[in-house]
Amino acid sequence: MEGAVKNRVIAILAVVVIIFFLLWLAAYSTASKQKANVASKAALSMELEEKNVKLEKEKAVLTEELKNAQGKLAEEKASQEATKKTLSQEQVAEQALKVELERVTRLKEALEQDLKDALAGQKK
């Protein structure tokens, strides 16, 4: 009977060892999957961080280009305003010269008429 008890204890221990071994395999498998998952997430995180850094650099470059473009636009606007002002002054000067030319032309015509009248008066 002692042999039967020993065999029974050995069989129970063998079943317990097999159960623990199966539990250990399941835990090892789960741990391996978790480790792979963590590595995958770390790689993805690193990739996203690199993309973020790249995008930040591009943003800085584009921001600088925008500032330069805005500065050039402001310069162009100032130049355009100065040109408009100069054009306006030129138009005013042109108008004044036209008025002066008309006045001089009328004076000339009046002088020519006076000269004709004076010449006609001398001939008589």
DSSP state letter for 99? H
**Predicted TM-score (pTM) above 0.85:** no
Arithmetic mean of pLDDT, 39-62: 97
Arithmetic mean of pLDDT, 25-36: 97
122 band by pLDDT with thresholds 50, 70 and 90: confident
The CA-to-CA distance between both ends of the chain, in Å, stands at: 179
User: Hey, how many other C-beta atoms are within 10 angstroms of the C-beta on 34?
Assistant: 10
Distance CA(18)–CA(11), nearest Å, equals: 10
